[in-house]
Amino acid sequence: MTRIIVITSGKGGVGKTTVSANLGMALAKMGRQIALIDADFGLRNLDLLLGLENRIVYTAVEVLSRECRLEQALVKDKRLPNLVLLPAAQNRSKDAVNPEQMKLLVNALAQKYQYVLIDSPAGIENGFKNAIAPAKEALIVTTPEISAVRDADRVVGLLEAQGVKRVHLIINRIRPAMVRANDMMSVQDVQELLAIPLIGVIPDDERVIVSTNRGEPLVLAETPSVAALAFDNIARRLEGETVDFLDFDSPQDNIFARLRKLLWTKIV
């Protein structure tokens, strides 16, 4: 049974595309067959984060207009060939595709891939409606800011109205020191406001920016990071594993010490 998951938020700039790229790669590392769809027609970015921008020939729009076959538009990742990207068209408006067409694309991909991850555009307009139309599950990405949380809450309601009942929360860019100083909402604060199950917490990490600029998802980096471990843990939870959440209330040194210990145990 293919899992069709939309990654959304309502608010722009909270890290949806970063989550899509890293989560897709983390699942692919586990041997799953992954199809990533960039649903942000007119403003695609998922190809950049994956480092696949130079290999795009056709997009979803050409598939729907029958200018090419679906297989011709899929960009296969060389590092993990079990992951493919269906890119959005940069030179078209968000009205270039409608919800029924998105369902057709996703249903075709679901014949071959175990996960179809849809990277939703910001906002709740046509692009968002396209992205959620074929989805069976949703991951809501928010940062611990009141405006982002309020937008996420609105999206939860829209997903429920669309019949997407399986919804989980990812809190991105948490800064433990700011939480301890009461300058940032805590994980518990966000959970209480949104009242949906938590599946991942990702710390603020400058290496995310570096990996984005290089087109190398953090989960593929040779040097491990806490953020990469957080993405890997989300993938494992999606697979049904019970994985403890990282304790961001502890000093950062302790987190890195536990990470080193965990990695050393795996090596041994």
The whole-angstrom separation of Cα 6 and Cα 244 is 24
Question: CB under 8 Å to 178, separation ≥6 — which residues?
Answer: 184
Closest CA to 215 of 6, 16, 21: 21
- pLDDT tens across the length of the chain (268 residues): 999 999 999 899 999 999 999 999 999 999 999 999 999 988 889 999 999 999 999 999 999 999 999 999 999 999 999 999 999 988 766 667 999 999 999 999 999 999 999 999 988 888 999 999 999 999 999 999 999 999 999 999 999 999 999 999 999 999 999 999 999 999 999 999 999 999 999 999 999 889 988 999 999 999 889 999 999 999 999 999 999 998 876 555 455 555 555 565 554 4
Which pLDDT belongs to residue 93?
62
Backbone angles phi, psi at 169, to 5 degrees: -110, 135
31 torsion bin: left (phi>0), alpha (psi -120 to 50), beta (else):
left
**Would you state the structure tokens that stand for residue 249, as one six-digit string?**
């209330």
Which pLDDT belongs to residue 41?
87
Domain boundaries, the chain: 3-265
| Residue ranges at the known binding site for ATP | 11-18
The type of residue at 157 is: G
CB 58, CB 68: distance < 8 Å: yes
| Residue ranges at the known binding site | 11-18
**Would you state the structure tokens that stand for residue 60, as one six-digit string?**
């979803």
CB 116, CB 147: distance < 8 Å: no
Question: CB under 8 Å to 145, separation ≥6 — which residues?
Answer: 185
The whole-angstrom separation of Cα 255 and Cα 39 is 35
Which pLDDT belongs to residue 258?
56
Which pLDDT belongs to residue 251?
56
Backbone angles phi, psi at 36, to 5 degrees: -100, 130
Report the topology of domain 3-265.
Rossmann fold (3.40.50)
Other CB atoms within 10 A of residue 126 CB = 17
The whole-angstrom separation of Cα 179 and Cα 192 is 15
Greatest Cα pair distance in the chain: 56
**Would you state the structure tokens that stand for residue 37, as one six-digit string?**
């769809």
184 torsion bin: left (phi>0), alpha (psi -120 to 50), beta (else):
beta
CB 62, CB 68: distance < 8 Å: yes
The type of residue at 264 is: W
Closest CA to 193 of 230, 249, 144, 160: 144
pTM above 0.75, yes or no: yes
The whole-angstrom separation of Cα 102 and Cα 108 is 10
